[in-house]
Amino acid sequence: MSGLVQRIDALLPQTQCTKCGYPACRPYAEAIARGEADINQCPPGGDAAIRGLAGLLGREVRPLNPRNGIEQPRRVALIDEARCIGCTLCIQACPVDAIVGAPKLMHTVVTELCSGCDLCVLPCPVDCIDMVPATPADATWDQARADAARERFERRASRQERERRERAERLAARSLRAKEDPDAEKKRVIIQAAIERARERRRRT
């Protein structure tokens, strides 16, 4: 099964856009291999991907399912840098690490890395991101770009998993230190009492 999944995944555009109804291209490939998903659910791949999947799997070529979207020319994200507030929500949403920036600083899209997934648009609190047609020099999303996007997506997933693990380890260590502190409960009571006093002051004002 894993070999078949890899061959199916290789025919997908690796935009990681979730329009197929799955969280990324690989889960969609796994669902196709299990017979749980149809081959016509990928708008970015469009007719070419459908025909490739049909040929690989011996299935009938079908039109793109309109419930998943429409096939259209490649688009890329563009940030209005004058309106950007540096919240980092777009960076967190980008599945292929195509947006650079830092908290409270202007963000920008590395256009040649942008997969056109548009997942960064909705989280932006100031509506400063638009999806615009790619320039002629950047309009083609070929196999090399798809492979590079897959690699960035996998690196990002590995990084996020490592960060989650390290955060859990820090919390566990902090909890252990608190249990070993003979004055931990006394400190907790003092802190809670201070919080209650602050709340009472706010209620009176």
pLDDT of 110-132, one tens digit each?
999 999 999 999 999 999 999 99
Q: Tell the CATH topology of 75-138.
A: Alpha-Beta Plaits (3.30.70)
* Per-residue pLDDT tens over the stretch 58-98: 999 999 999 999 999 999 999 998 999 999 999 999 999 99
Long-range CB contact pairs, 61-68, < 8 A, 24+? 62/38, 64/40, 65/38, 65/40, 65/41, 68/19, 68/20, 68/21, 68/40, 68/41, 68/42, 68/43
Per-domain residue ranges for the chain? 2-68, 75-138, 143-204
Positions of E strands within 13-171 = 75-79, 99-100, 108-109, 129-133
CATH 1.10.15.40 assigned to 2-68: yes
What is the distance between the alpha carbons of residues 93 and 97, in angstroms, rounded to a whole number? 9
Note the pLDDT of residue 192.
Answer: 81
What is the distance between the alpha carbons of residues 72 and 64, in angstroms, rounded to a whole number? 12
Same topology, domains 2-68 and 75-138? Answer is no
